[in-house]
Structure 1
């Protein structure tokens, strides 16, 4: 074997070892038959770089091997990330490759969120790319709308204060000062009224206590009355009242039917007429006794006779004496 052949063989071996060592440092196995390459397109990779880890469900399955701009003019500015997987874990083309923050100190990794629906992805296929917002981006996204609203509030407050300064001129400020002084006077009067009310309450404390005690006594009496009413047998009282009403109805029925003296008096027309005539005659007799008493009590030494009864004079209350 010539020296040139030996030198060539040694050179090939050294180059092979160099390539193997380089890929070993990158944790890529050149002799693995299961190694597959996939491509993902992003608008921004958020600091992802070559040799970043690729994981599935938290398990490292590969690395990012290349990042370059999309050569298509229509997609100018977009980035194509090439990843290499070391195992034969199968997932569909609908799986998502999401860039996420590896730690708070920085550094991005790529996680494949596997989907098992549809056609199985093979080496060379494109996967859908997404970027997960890190904590600082999330805070910034949430604070940006608040900042915009806060700026609008500050601008509105500045406009309001400017308008208020333009409206509140010297006369208005004087009026406002007078209003404040008047308000202080009102507050002072209210304090005096409260003080007077406290003094009045203190001076009438005994009377108030007596009134409250009397009110309590009245309330207790009402409670006793209520208790007595509660103990009253209303059923028995109602029964007695019903019996009384039945007796009254019986008496009224007897009167209406003409039974008894009162019934006869109420229903006998002749008796009513006789009583009316007797009353009338009694009235005429009393009137005659009043107008002509000498006719009933007569005393005369000379034997003078009393005048006879005169119906017309008696009707006109004229004496016959």
Structure 2
């Protein structure tokens, strides 16, 4: 049996649409070949909840959101159609809780009533509730505190602006800049000194060290015992001379220690001084000079 060209194109299009349909559902997490049970859940708010959103029990995925419908007969109620695994049974009194993640969007969590053994019939309606998510907690708890902090932050920023714009800060920065420039200049001068003066200083130091070594060698060659003996002899001579000065058995001792001689010398010095003074005051008393008398005597 031969197919026309148009039939082949049509068959390829149908197969492509079939693959596209199953592929899209597979990407959404819908398994068309897996049997499921459908339930309805009523919510007051389904913010951020999307079709194909996962449904969990105790952290284990048991189904997905199939559809989201608005209940026009019951105001402020939104009906969510969920698909659960065929073998999944929901006990009476259980409820579905919507939670919102920080980045993953909203998901549904079934909170099972573990105290009863009866189950909800397939296709029945389950009560739903919304749990505050991370963003809700931030909006409800953190934002008021942030709003209370805003005036303080504003005053802090105003204070910082006044400090930054204060002339004293500008002057301080200028001083710091000049200090840095001076330090850089001093560092350059120190570098120049280290490269030019320090070698000369080290050369002089080596020379002085060499001289000290030579002096030390000469000191080792000196006979210290002989030097000490000579020094002791000199000190003994000085002591003997001092003792002679203090005794009266020699001329120098008599001159220094004889009181009568000292008094006579003192009196003689005073008489000589008086005589010189009188001579200056009355020179005619001691010198006679006359031409006529001299001729008559001849």
TM-score over 0.5 for the pair = no
